[in-house]
Chains A and B, each alone.
Chain A
């Protein structure tokens, strides 16, 4: 079955460390997105990519980096420059014919 997979489900990071969150989709979707969600809050766009080897900053890109070397994959790195990284991170993809996003099940990142 086609879908979008985020891993790991839970991630713990020490202060000062970089961590990378994985997002893989086998839906043959062109566009992929990363969102951050804080408790009881809405979705804030971090980065998005509408085509391989190209990506754009969203509303809260500082302290994050991404790559899009393959259509199927859009990893997000949370760098040490992100001062408050504890949050729920959601990845989504969108097909060529637009319409809604398909979301992954999320990664909960906690700084310890």
Chain B
């Protein structure tokens, strides 16, 4: 099945550093979402983006819906140890048989050293 191109695959950073990750697709999406998964748990929604060009913040997290509707990025500022986890991007299709179903990126594994 289709997957989004999410990068980087993994990041090892020092506490206090800023983090940036992104997703690209060959298809247009109506919605972009960013999830965080902690070890042994299910993913939890961090940010949802519904309009091209939209920039949304949630605390130290900022995400943007690309104007081409084919990409999105997530920034984390001033990282802390509890930011550790896997971050997934997801896009929601514009219609047809994929209507409603999310397409996920491969995930970015984030490790934060104290």
B114 at interface by CB-CB < 8 Å = no
A103→B92 contact, CB < 8 A: no
A39–B16 alpha-carbon span in the complex (Å): 27
A98 at interface by CB-CB < 8 Å = yes
Which chain A residues lie closer than 8 Å to B100 at the CB level? 31, 50, 94, 98
Which chain A residues lie closer than 8 Å to B41 at the CB level? 105-106
A81–B17 alpha-carbon span in the complex (Å): 47
Chain A residue at minimum C-beta to C-beta distance from B33: A100
A91 to chain B, nearest CB (A): 8
Total chain B interface residues with beta-carbon distance under 8 A: 23
B105→A59 contact, CB < 8 A: no
Category for how many chain A residues contact B = 20 to 34
**Option from A48, A104, A105 in Cβ contact (under 8 Å) with B101:** A48
Chain A residue at minimum C-beta to C-beta distance from B92: A98
Which chain B residues lie closer than 8 Å to A88 at the CB level? 40
A107 to chain B, nearest CB (A): 10
Which chain A residues lie closer than 8 Å to B48 at the CB level? 99-100
Chain B residue at minimum C-beta to C-beta distance from A94: B100
B3 at interface by CB-CB < 8 Å = yes
**B97-114 CB contact bits vs A (8 Å, 1 = yes)?**
000111011110100000
Say whether, besides A40-B109, A58-B1, A106 and B40 are in contact (CB < 8 Å). yes
B106→A41 contact, CB < 8 A: yes
A37 to chain B, nearest CB (A): 8
A52 at interface by CB-CB < 8 Å = no
User: Could you write out 11 A-B pairs with CB less than 8 Å apart?
Assistant: A43-B104, A48-B101, A58-B1, A59-B1, A90-B43, A94-B100, A101-B45, A103-B35, A103-B43, A103-B44, A108-B40
- Contact surface of A with B, Cβ cutoff 8 Å: 6, 31, 33, 40-43, 45, 48, 50, 58-59, 88, 90, 92, 94, 98-106, 108
